[in-house]
A and B are shown apart, each in its own frame.
Chain A
Amino acid sequence: MPDIQLEVNGRDYEIKDIAPDTPLLWAIRDHVGLVGTKFGCGGGFCGACTVHLDGNPVRSCSVLATSAVGKKVTTIEGIAVDDTVLHPLQEAWIEHDVPQCGYCQAGQIMSAAALLSKNSNPSDSDIDDAMSGNLCRCATYIRIRRAIRTAAAKISGNTSRTGGNV
C-alpha cells in the first residue's frame, strides 16, 4: 500500500500505507485528523463532504485521496483569513444564525466559498446552481441564501477581504 503526501490548508501531511481506493474524505478525517469535513452519504448526493481541490469544489467522498496528490486541498478549517478573522461567509453564517443541527454547514460554506471566489455578485440562479448539490436535512436554505448575499455584499464592497483564502 502506498505512502502519499497531501497538501491540506497549506500544510503537508505524510500518510503512510493508505489503501489506494481510500476516498479523500476519509484521508482528511482519519489520517490528516481534520474532522470539519463531514460524511453524509458517501455517494456524491449530499455535499456534506465538500472541499476545494485547487480552488474547485469537489465531493471528497467521491474523489480518491491519491488523485489529490500534488494539488491544493482546502477544507473548512482552512478558509478563515487567519485565527482571528473569519471568512466573510463564516461571519455571515454566524450573523444570520444559519445552522440548526449544523452538520451540513461546512459543506454548504465550502460550496458557497467556491462560488464567491469566482463570482462575488451572484444572482439567485447562480446561487441555486452552486448550492443545489448540498442537502440540508434541517432545511436552513432560506438563511443560507441570505448569508451568501450578505457575504457577497461584504466581499464586493471591500475587495481587500477577498485576499487570503477566499
Chain B
Amino acid sequence: MNQIPTQDIIEEMENTRPGILDLRVVDRRTFLKLTGVTSTGLVLGFTIRDAASPVFAAADNEFTANEFVRIATDGNIYLYSKNPEIGQGIKTAVPMIIAEELDADWSDVIVEQAPINEEVYGRQSAGGSRSLTTAWDQVRKAGAAARAMLVSAAAKEWGVPESECRTEASSVFHDASNRKAAYARLALKAAEEPLPDLDALVLKKRSEYKLLGKRITGVDNHKVVTGQPLFGVDAVIPGMRYASYLKCPAAGGRVKSANLDEIKALHGVEDAFVIEGNNEPTELMPGVAIVANSTWAAISAKNKLKVEWDESQATKASWTEAQKNARDIAKNKSGDVLYDIGNIDGKFAEAEKSYEAFYEYPFLSHAPLEPQNCTAWVHDGKAELWAPTQRPEQGGNSVAGILGIDKKNVEVHQLRVGGGFGRRLMNDYMCEAAAISAQAGVPVKLQWTREDDMAHDFYRVGGFHALKGAIDKEGKLSAWHDHFITFMGSNKKPVTGGDMRNSEFPIDFFPDTRITQTMLPLRVPTGPWRSPRSCGIAFAVQSFISELAEEAGRDHVEFLLDMLGEPRWLEQGNIDAMNTGRAARVIKLAAEKAGWGKPMPKGRGLGMAFHFSHAGHFAEVADISVDENKKLTIHKITVAGDVGPIINLSGAENQSQGAVIDALSTTLGLQLSIENGRIQETNFHQYPILRMNKAPDVAVHFIESDYRPTGLGEPALPPAAPAICNAIYAASGIRVRDLPLSKHGFSV
C-alpha cells in the first residue's frame, strides 16, 4: 500500500491565499451563441484564465450554461453556485453575495448548481473553509457587472446619465423623472451593452448591504423537507444497475479467492468480479464487486461473499501498541526540533515555576450520515459520474487515470453531499464506481454500507503532546515546549492531518517556543477531519494553558490575554493569519456573555478556550455541572467568533452550533480502536454520536469586522473540547488529559 498522496493537494488547497482574481470576460458573442440562451435575457460569463478560447461547451439546454448570473425575461434571476454543498451552506451564501451586488430581490432568485469546470469557475472544491473567501471577489464582481449593464441599458433608454440611476429589488430607478424598469424587462437590452471593466466596478461597502448579514433559509430546504431527489444516493439514470464492493478490512489486503460462482447464482445478482485496483487508498484498492438489479440484492450478496484475503502487504496497525510506544517516547525522548524560537532553555532556567503534562487524543471517523456512493456510466472511452464529492474536479481526474482515458472525456455532475467533514475530499468511491461500470459495461450506482464506511475511512489521526511551560515571577508564561508525537507516512513526513504548523497556537506569536516532533509508524489511512490538526491540537494546548494559569495562580482569561500581547497581525499582508487583537476581542466577548468570573455553585464551573484555525478567531465558554457519579449537565456553551462580515446569519449560527455539538459529541464518547489493521467499530451503536436528548444550548455571538469574510465550516470546532474539559476541571477538580471523556467514566 502506498502512502496516501493527498498531503500536498490538501496543503495546496488550504494554502491558496485569496488574491485578486484575473477575471476576464469571455467574448460574449461566442458565449451567447454557444449557450444558446440569447432569447432569455442577459447572460454573463466569466473565465479566469484564457479569454481567447471559447471555454463554454455548446449547450442546447439553458440550464447547462456556464455562468454566474442569468436574468430571464420572465423575471427569474438564475444564480449559479459553483462549490459543492456539503451542509456548510455555500449554495445559499455565495448566491447571496452575487444578489447583493446585483441588487436582486432574493425572492426572484433561483439558485442552480454550476457545472463542474474549474477552467471556467476557478476552485470548485469544498474544504479548508475556503469556498467563501476564495469566491468573494469573483462573485461580487459577477453581480456588480450584471448590475452595471442593466443600469447602462436603462440609462440609454431613458436618455439620462447612468450616475443618476440607482438599483433596488431587481429594478433600475431614475428618481428625478420617477421612472422604474424591472431587470426582467431590461434583460435583452442589457445583453447588448458592452461589458464593464471589472477592475473599475465599485463594490458595495458593508454599511450598504441590504441582504448580507440577514437570516436566509437554505435554497434547497423545500426540496430537503419534501424528500425530493438531491443527494448522491438519489441519483437514478436510465438502465442503471446497483453495485456493492468489498475490500479487505485491513488496508492493503488483496483478494486471493472468492466464492464468485455462488454469488453470481444469487437472486438478483447479475455479475461479480475481482478488481485488482492500483493500491492507492484514495483511488482504487483491490476488492470484489457485485452488480445486481437492486441495492438490496447487491448488499445482501456482499454479506454472503466469502473472500480469502492475502494480507501479506496489509497493515497490521494496533492503536494500543501505538499508545504504549508514544507514552514511552514522551518519557524518554525529546524529539526532533521543528520550531525553536527565542531562548527557552534560558527561560526555563530562570523560571519561577515550570510545569508539565501529557495529553493524548484518539483516532476518529468522519461518519457522514450519507454512506459513500457514486453513480457512473463508462462507455466508449467516456465516463460520466454523479457524485456527492467535496472535490469533483479532482475526482474526475482520478477516474481518468484509473480508466486510462483523457480527463476531457470525464464529466462529473455534482450532487448534494450528505455530510462532508473532510471525508469526501477523497474520491475512492468515484474510482470504484467507474471501475465497476467499465468492467460490467452498464451504468451502476455503487452503494457503500455504514460498515464499509466505518472500515474504509481516511481517519482523523490520533496524537500525543508532552507539554511543558515556564512561569516567570510575574505569573506570566515565559517559555513553551511541546513534544508532539505523531505518525509517519511512507514519504517520511507526518500523515495527513498529523502535522504541526506554525499557525497552531502559540507558535507564531509566543516569543520563547520550541516544538519538537517524533513520528511513529502506523499504517492507517488518514485524512483531513473538520479543522484538520487544530481539532486535536486545540484540546491539548488550550487545556494546558488553563492548567498553567492555575499553576501561576492567575485567572485563565487574563493569563491568555497576557500571552497574546499587543494587537497585531502575525503575518503581515496575510489577512488569513491570526490577529492578536481579533483574538483578544472574541475572548473578552465570550467571557462577558458567559458571565466569566461570577460565583458558581459547588459542582458547577465555567471553562474557557480560544483557538484560531482556518482563518477564524473563536473563543468559547462551557458552563457545566458534574455530579458525584461524573454525570455532566451542560448548561450552556457560549461562542464568540470573528470571521469578518457575516453573509448569512442563519447559516453562520447553524454552522457554529453544529461544530460545537460535533466537538462535544466527539469529546464525550468517540474513539476508534484499531487492532490487526482493522477498525473495530462497525456502526453507530459502537460510535455513539450525540443525540438530541443530550444536545445543550449553544449561544453564538459574532463580531462583524470589515475584513474579508472567511468560512465557518470548521473554526468553531477546536475551542469546544478544551472549553468543556476546563469547565469539568472547574466544576469537579478532575483534569482530563486524554479523550474521550467516557473513558474516565463521564457521561451526559
Chain A positions near chain B (C-beta within 8 angstroms): 1, 19, 21-23, 26, 29-31, 33-43, 45-46, 48, 75-77, 80, 86, 89-90, 93-95, 97-106, 109, 127-129, 131-145
In the complex, the answer to whether A41 meets B692 with C-beta atoms within 8 Å is: no
Closest CB of chain A to B733's CB: distance in Å?
A: 29
Per the bound structure, the CA–CA distance linking A103 and B215 in Å amounts to 22
Q: Interface stretch among B4-12, B606-614, B682-690?
A: B682-690
Measured CB to CB, the nearest residue on chain A to B700 is A142
Q: Contacts of B367 on A, CB cut-off 8 Å?
A: 137
B399 within 8 A of partner (CB): no
**Which A residues are CB-close (under 8 A) to B451?**
42
Q: Are A36 and B228 in contact (CB under 8 A)?
A: yes
- Return B421 CB to nearest CB of chain A, in Å: 8
* CA A102 to CA B650, docked complex, whole Å: 15
Known: A101-B416, A141-B691. 18 other contacts (CB 8 A): A26-B294, A35-B233, A35-B236, A39-B295, A41-B684, A42-B451, A86-B226, A94-B222, A95-B217, A97-B215, A100-B655, A101-B419, A102-B418, A105-B225, A129-B693, A134-B691, A138-B419, A138-B662
Whether the Cβ atoms of A80 and B268 lie closer than 8 Å is: no
B290 to chain A, nearest CB (A): 14
In this assembly, does B588 line the interface, its C-beta being within 8 Å of a C-beta of chain A?
Answer: no
* Known contacts A23-B296, A43-B450; is-contact A105 B683 (Cβ 8 Å): no
24 interchain pairs, CB-CB under 8 A: A19-B268, A19-B297, A21-B296, A22-B296, A26-B294, A29-B295, A34-B227, A38-B233, A38-B418, A39-B447, A40-B370, A42-B450, A46-B450, A93-B221, A99-B220, A100-B88, A101-B85, A101-B417, A102-B87, A102-B220, A128-B692, A132-B691, A139-B657, A139-B660
Q: A37 vs B231: C-alpha distance in the bound complex, in angstroms?
A: 11
Query: With A1-B267, A90-B226, A101-B87 in contact, do A43 and B419 touch (Cβ < 8 Å)?
Result: no
List 10 A-B pairs, minimum CB-CB distance, nearest first.
Answer: A36-B227, A101-B87, A103-B418, A76-B227, A139-B661, A141-B695, A128-B693, A100-B87, A102-B224, A45-B684
Complexed CA–CA distance, A122 and B222 (Å): 25
Q: Which of B218, B659, B695 contacts A142 (CB 8 A)?
A: B695
Which of under 10, 10 to 19, 20 to 34, or 35 or more describes the interface residues of B?
35 or more
Q: A40-B450, A94-B217, A101-B369 are contacts. A140–B684 as well, Cβ < 8 Å?
A: no
- Whether B685 and A131, one on each chain, are in contact in the complex, defined by CB atoms closer than 8 angstroms, is no
Residue on B nearest A41 in the bound complex, by CB: B450
- Tell whether B658 is near chain A: CB-to-CB under 8 Å: yes
- What is the bound-complex CA distance between A34 and B236, given in angstroms? 11
Q: Which of B222, B242, B651, B689 contacts A135 (CB 8 A)?
A: B689
* Contact flag A99-B418 (CB < 8 Å), given A30-B242, A39-B371: no
Given that A138-B419, A141-B695 are contacting pairs, would A31 and B369 also be in contact in the complex, using a CB cutoff of 8 Å? no
Q: Once the chains are docked, how many angstroms separate the CA of A164 from the CA of B421? A: 38
For A1, list chain B residues within 8 Å (CB). 267
**Which of B225, B416, B450 has the most chain A CB within a 10 Å cutoff?**
B225
- Closest chain-B Cβ to A84's Cβ sits at a distance in Å of 12
Taking CB atoms, residues of chain A closer than 8 Å to B683 are: 41-43, 45
Please tell me if B654 contacts chain A, counting CB pairs below 8 Å: yes
> In the complex, are the beta carbons of B233 and A135 less than 8 A apart?
no
Contact of B371 with A137 in the complex, beta carbons under 8 Å = no
In the complex formed, the residue of B with least CB distance to A27 is B296
State how many angstroms separate the Cβ of B159 from the closest Cβ of chain A: 45
Q: A86 → chain B, closest Cβ, in Å?
A: 7
The reply to whether A30 and B294 contact each other, CB–CB distance below 8 Å, is yes
Chain B nearest CB from A154 CB (Å) reads 15
Interface string of B286-329 (1 = CB under 8 A from A): 00000000111101100000000000000000000000000000
Partner of B225, one of A22, A33, A86, A141: A86
With A29-B295, A139-B665, A141-B695 known as contacts, the answer to whether A90 contacts B225 (CB < 8 A) is yes
| A93 CA to B660 CA, complexed, in Å | 21
| Cβ-neighbour of A38 out of B242, B370, B655 (below 8 A) | B370
For B299, the chain A residues whose CB sits under 8 A away are 42
Report the bound CA distance from A129 to B694 in whole Å.
11
Judging by beta carbons under 8 Å apart, are A100 and B418 in contact?
A: no
Q: Name the residue of chain A whose CB is nearest to the CB of B649.
A: A97
A22–B447 Cα gap in the complex (Å)? 16
Residues of B390-430 contacting chain A, CB below 8 A: 416-421
Contact with A along B644-657 (1 / 0, CB 8 A): 00000011001101
Taking CB atoms, residues of chain A closer than 8 Å to B297 are 19
Taking a contact as CB atoms under 8 Å apart, the answer to whether B692 and A141 are in contact is yes
A80 to B371, CA, bound (A): 27
Q: Is the CB of A101 within 8 A of B295?
A: no
B218 and A45 within 8 A (CB)? no
* Cβ-based interface call for B230 (8 A): yes
Distance between B724 CB and nearest chain A CB, rounded to angstroms: 14
**CB pair B662 A46 closer than 8 Å:** no
Identify the interface centre among A23, A42, A127: most chain B CB within 10 Å of its CB: A42
Is there contact, CB below 8 Å, between B234 and A35?
Answer: yes
- Report the separation of the CA atoms of residues A80 and B691 in the bound assembly, to the nearest whole angstrom: 26
B296 pairs with A30, CB closer than 8 A:
yes
Hey, which chain B residues are within 8 Å of A105, CB to CB? Answer: 224-225
Expressed in whole angstroms, the Cα–Cα distance for A141 and B657 within the complex equals 9
A93 touches B692 (CB 8 A): no
Report A55 CB to chain B, min CB distance, Å: 18
